[in-house]
Amino acid sequence: MSKGTSKTQNKNGSSVTPVSKARKLAIIGGGNMARSLIGGLLHDGWKPRQFRVADPNASQRDLLSQTLGVTVFEDNQEAAAGADGVVLAVKPQALSKVARELAPALIQTKPLIISVVAGIRTADIQRWIGAPVPIVRVMPNTPALVAAGASGLYATPEVNNVQVDFAESMMRAVGLVVWIQQEYLMDSVTALSGSGPAYLFLVLEAMEDAAVAQGLDRRTARLLTLQTVFGAAKMALESEDTPATLRSHVTSPGGTTAAGVRELERGMRDLFYQAIAAAAARSEAIANHYGAEGEE
Ligand SMILES: NC(=O)C1=CN([C@@H]2O[C@H](COP(=O)(O)OP(=O)(O)OC[C@H]3O[C@@H](n4cnc5c(N)ncnc54)[C@H](OP(=O)(O)O)[C@@H]3O)[C@@H](O)[C@H]2O)C=CC1
Ligand SMILES: O=C(O)[C@@H]1CCC=N1
């Protein structure tokens, strides 16, 4: 997982310049994903004054200004004014209204628009804005907060190289970045890495509960579970071997692991196949439903 502090190659093969720490980023919607992204970028050296966050909810705004020190706004247009990048981080059902309201400002000042909204396609956002503005669609995940995020990025043809670098460098500061060439695959990215942390938190819960049922105390069960999952992921990331090979190194013939894996093989692969397919289908359904708003 590379950080955004060194020059690397972007999706066009040219070198990526880390985002200037003078840039201003407006974030429309100050919820969970906004907090994870801001927290990760602050950790990377961004300053609170670089963020202009809009949220209609006063308690949400207070939380953001008190815990992260960022500038907050009730009005989306005020937050977007003068920003180099505008991150759309509202729920899918709120995006059409937000995009239409912001349209005059976005057309006039031409910031890079970055949408982290699940499902909604760039063509629909451009239709709501009323112009073929450059948009980078990003599917991040909440581990961005601890600089261990994973983001899939898709750029519309209007996005220039400087804007590619801006988006890539920003997301790289909070974790891994992968460019996706065909927009429809963003539904699969959403289902895999966007939603993925929740699947793994569920796995953690299940492993911990199973260990408690064996008689371990909750704290011990949690610590051993967390370190085991962390260690396995770190090992798989750093190893040349496939996960299947690494698994074989743990599995002695006739041993304990073989007994455990045999139980998991009774349904776990199918469950993950179904879970990711269901999440991707939901992303597509969100796009078809909420993305159609305002269509002739
Ligand atoms: N959470 C995650 O793991 C991920 C989320 N995403 C995407 O990020 C987006 C935000 O998700 P998340 O942060 O979890 O959602 P949240 O509900 O936590 O945050 C959205 C925020 O936007 C506010 N809001 C509602 N209407 C407006 C408006 N008109 N203008 C400005 N702000 C508004 C909401 O206020 P109120 O609560 O009062 O309605 C809320 O505070 C979604 O589209 C989601 O698909 C993408 C990747 C991962
Ligand atoms: O659950 C959701 O819809 C969002 C998108 C990916 C993660 N959270």
On whether the CB atoms of residues 148 and 15 are closer than 8 A, the answer is: no
pLDDT at residue 10, rounded to an integer: 61
Give the nearest ligand 2 atom to 282 CA. 3
CA 232 – ligand 1 centroid, Å? 32
- 6-15, 55-64, 125-134, range with the lowest pLDDT: 6-15
pLDDT at residue 191, rounded to an integer: 98
Closest CA to ligand 1's atom 22:
29
CA 96 – ligand 1 centroid, Å? 13
pLDDT at residue 198, rounded to an integer: 98
Give yes or no for residue 8 having a pLDDT over 90. no
Q: Side-chain half-sphere of 236: how many Cα atoms within 13 Å? A: 14
Give yes or no for residue 171 having a pLDDT over 70. yes
pLDDT digits (tens, 9 = 90+) for 75-115: 999 999 989 999 999 999 999 999 999 999 999 988 999 99
Ligand number nearest CA of 282 is 2
Distance separating alpha carbons of residues 47 and 69, to the nearest angstrom: 9
The architecture of the domain spanning 8-186 is 3-Layer(aba) Sandwich (3.40)
pLDDT digits (tens, 9 = 90+) for 73-86: 999 999 999 899 99
Give yes or no for residue 179 having a pLDDT over 50. yes
Helix, coil or strand: residue 155? strand
Pocket probe mutation, ligand 1, options 27, 28, 32, max atoms within 8 Å of Cβ: 32
DSSP string, 9-71: E-TTSSEEPPPPTT--EEEE--SHHHHHHHHHHHHTT--GGGEEEE-S-HHHHHHHHHHH--E
Task: Evaluate: CB of 152 within 6 angstroms of ligand 1.
Answer: no
Pocket probe mutation, ligand 2, options 138, 195, 199, 290, max atoms within 8 Å of Cβ: 195
Average pLDDT of the residues in 174-198: 98
Average pLDDT, the chain: 93
On whether the CB atoms of residues 190 and 279 are closer than 8 A, the answer is: yes
Ligand number nearest CA of 36 is 1
Average pLDDT of the residues in 49-73: 97
- The CATH number of domain 196-265 is 1.10.3730.10: yes
Average pLDDT of the residues in 191-201: 98
pLDDT at residue 118, rounded to an integer: 97
pLDDT digits (tens, 9 = 90+) for 138-159: 999 999 999 999 999 999 999 9
ipTM field:
0.98
Average pLDDT of the residues in 182-208: 98
Distance separating alpha carbons of residues 6 and 30, to the nearest angstrom: 29
Say what the alpha-carbon torsion angle 87, 107, 118, 93 is, to the nearest 10 degrees. 110
Ligand number nearest CA of 100 is 1
- What is the domain partition of the chain in residue ranges? 8-186, 196-265
Closest CA to ligand 2's atom 5:
118
Name residue 32's amino acid: N
CA 294 – ligand 1 centroid, Å? 21
* Direct distance between the N- and C-terminal alpha carbons of the chain, in angstroms, rounded to an integer: 44
Q: Which H or E run contains 178?
A: strand 175-179
Q: Vertex 234, ends 155 and 153: CA angle to 5°? A: 5
pLDDT at residue 81, rounded to an integer: 93
| Residues whose CB falls within 8 Å of the CB of residue 83, separated by 6 or more in sequence, listed in order | 24, 25, 26, 52, 109, 111
Give the nearest ligand 1 atom to 140 CA. 47
3: pLDDT confidence band, cut at 50, 70 and 90? very low
Distance separating alpha carbons of residues 166 and 160, to the nearest angstrom: 10
Ligand number nearest CA of 32 is 1
Task: Evaluate: CB of 5 within 6 angstroms of ligand 1.
Answer: no
